[in-house]
Structure 1
Amino acid sequence: MTDPQKRFDAIVKALKENNQRLTPQRLAIVRILAHSDGHPNVEEIYEALRGDFPTMSLATVYRNVILLKSLGEVLELGFPDGGNRYDGNKPYPHPHVICVRCKKIIDPDLATLKDMTTEVAEETGFRILTHRLDFFGICLECMEKER
């Protein structure tokens, strides 16, 4: 995980550079995304902020997350069930390990990913623009619950 405060500052800088207002709600959403290592969905962000911003709507959170995504400051992880999750701490393509039971997402550090991307490009002749590499399994906590 990168330094959450540095990510927060970088996202705020991107917002300023794109002439976006720094409302208290927007800054709170940015803070959650920059500090989260759990890849929250929009509903989880909304629930975390409802107490501080009781008049804020779920649509406000959606709009802000989409804005941050359009600025390249949030990585969206889409899933077949329609449940998108968001990574504001590492907004660039990187691998994920996803528990099929509890939906926990972990970011493993894979030093060989750059080599794999190069190998795929060389084998296919493609210029790779982005990638997504997900591993699905059962996390340690869920396996412990089974025992």
Structure 2
Amino acid sequence: MKDPEQRFQELMQKLRSREYRLTPQRVALIRLLASSEGHPDAAELYRRLLEQFPTTSLATVYKTLNLLKEMGEVLEIEIDGIGGEGSRFDGNDPTPHPHLICVRCHRILDGQVSLTEEILQAVQGQSGYRVISHRLDFYGICPECQAQGAN
């Protein structure tokens, strides 16, 4: 995990350089994303933002998430296909990295391995694709769900 304050400053600088409005709500949301240890969904970010800004709308959260996603500063992890609702977001480390996703409780952990340059070159050579981004997700049952008897 990147240093949350450093990540926050990095995001703020990128938004300033593109002359985006930095409302107090947007700044607070960016701080939440930069310091998130997990992979929160939009509803969780919204609930946490409401504590400080009770008049904030859910649309504000989605607009900011979409903006950061377009800038390549937030990684969206979709879990709809495994019975989860919506997406989760990684604002602390938007670089492509593997995730371990529990199909029972929908917990998401960052994998501690990365695709090597050698693997990327092999994929490009065999397919003819020019890879501009990649993602590797592993689906399974986390240790906690296994202990509870989930299959």
Task: Give yes or no for TM over 0.5.
Answer: yes
- Alpha-carbon separation, structure 2, partners of 1:114 and 1:83: 31
Match of 1:117 among 95, 114, 120: 120
Q: Which runs of 5+ in 2 are unaligned?
A: none
Match of 1:55 in 2: 55
Separation in 2 of the partners of 1:111 and 1:133?
9
Shift of 1:67: 1.1
Q: Is 1:101 matched with 2:108?
A: no
**Gapped regions of structure 1 (runs ≥ 5):** none
C-alpha separation in 1, matches of 2:115 and 2:14: 30
Query: What count of residue pairs does the alignment treat as equivalent?
Result: 147
1:28-43 alignment, distance < 5 Å: 28-43=28-43
Post-superposition shift, 1:44?
0.8
The ranges of structure 1 where at least 4 consecutive aligned residues each deviate by more than 6 angstroms after the TM superposition are none
Equivalent pairs: percent with the same residue?
Answer: 48
**Corresponding letter in the other structure for 1:20:** Y
- TM-score for both structures, normalised by structure 2: 0.89
Partner of 1:24: 24
Partner of 1:131: 134
* CA distance in structure 2 between the partners assigned to 1:84 and 1:111 by the alignment: 22
2:93 maps to 90
Counterpart for residue 5 of structure 1: 5
| 1:99, distance to aligned residue in structure 2 (A) | 0.7
Shift of 1:69: 1.2
- Report the RMSD for the aligned CA atoms in angstroms: 1.7
Residue 139 of structure 2 aligns with an amino acid whose one-letter code is F
Q: Is the 8 A contact 2:98 2:114 kept in 1?
A: no
Q: Secondary structure at the match of 2:52?
A: coil
Taking the aligned partners of 2:93 and 2:121, their CA distance within structure 1 comes to 21
Query: Aligned to 1:51, what secondary structure does the other structure show?
Result: helix
Report the Cα distance in structure 1 between the residues aligned to 2:99 and 2:118, rounded to whole angstroms.
17
Q: What TM-score, normalized by structure 1, do the two folds share?
A: 0.91
Structure 1 CA distance for aligned equivalents of residues 147 and 118 of structure 2: 35
Aligned equivalent of 2:14:
14
8 Å Cα contact 2:97-2:114 kept in structure 1 = no
